[in-house]
Amino acid sequence: MYFHDKRLQYPVKVETPDPLFARQLQQAIGGVEGELRVCLQYFFQAWGNRSPNTKYRDMLLHTATEEIGHIEMLATAVALNLENAPLSLQESTAAANPVVNAVMGGERPRHMVEGMLHKHLLSTGLAAFPGNADGAPFDCSHVYASGNLAADMFANITAEATGRTLAVRLYNAAHDPGMKDMLSFLIARDTMHQQQWLAVIEELGGPAAQLPIPNSFDQSLENREFSYVFAGTDRNGEPPPEGRFTQGPSLDGKGQFSAKQAEPLGAAPVLGAARQGSGAQTEQMDATSSA
């Protein structure tokens, strides 16, 4: 069960509406780095969480619900930035600076700017929608909920890291003080959430205890000859790069890193002839091919 409070989690104010910035904010809603992604990711991780300790499920639900509030803030910001947007093609042409002539630094062609503006007008009535800055709808393809707590926490760290990177870029692109203030709040929450997921990994015993994921698999069943070897694939004589990942103890403490040039260990694949009725050419078949 969820409850709604009509008040925003944090103030959203726009002194000078900017339709261009409204488009950019769409990425923070429905982009692969956006709030829809993390909101659904945390919800599905929580709903599928299986553990004797329910605090991780509860934690995920709290944060997923917080992310709904972030979507609400951004949707409000998009709508406020569209309040002076042109309402027709003729108006948008007349108001071409900056709405038409510049998109994200002025590098996008005019039809892309107008197309996005028309989507905000024709499809949403000058409001936000669940899609990215190019108008593509959010499709859940980057929602990761594996059922493995450690794997999900590492996925969440990545999600918050890319989300914070986007929020910082939006902050740097913003000119309105209200938008900078809102984004400073969202950046701060991303900071906390990165720390939060890392804290869970630490509470579980740290990365060493969790690696390799899943740590429930008996490693004697994997081909351990290849478990901690960096494979170099350069064919011009360059040796594999040297680094922490090529020498010294592995991070899980269960092996030693090494490096070697990768060599093919299998034969070239040979497939059987094409079958009759498969739509292949006659020359691809042989006399014994069956339908």
* Annotated binding-site positions for Mn(2+): 35, 67, 70, 160, 193
Binding residues for Ca(2+): 58
The answer to whether the Cα torsion of 183, 184, 185, 186 is positive or negative is positive
Range list of H helices, 95-173 = 96-99, 110-118, 149-173
Closest Cα partner for 149 from 197, 217, 219? 197
- Is the bond preceding 212 in cis, omega lying within 30 degrees of 0? yes
CA distances from 47 to 10, 51, 148, 178, 245 (A): 27, 12, 13, 35, 36
Interacting residues of 185 by C-beta distance below 8 A, sequence separation 6+: 10
DSSP letter for 277, please.
Answer: T
Interacting residues of 116 by C-beta distance below 8 A, sequence separation 6+: 23, 103, 133, 134, 135
Burial of 53 (0-12, 13-18, 19+ CB in 10 A): exposed
Interacting residues of 125 by C-beta distance below 8 A, sequence separation 6+: none
Q: Tokens standing for 247?
A: 């020498």
Closest Cα partner for 286 from 278, 257, 32? 278
Binding residues: 35, 58, 67, 70, 160, 193
Q: Is 258 helix (H, G, I), strand (E, B) or coil?
A: strand
First to last CA, the chain: 56
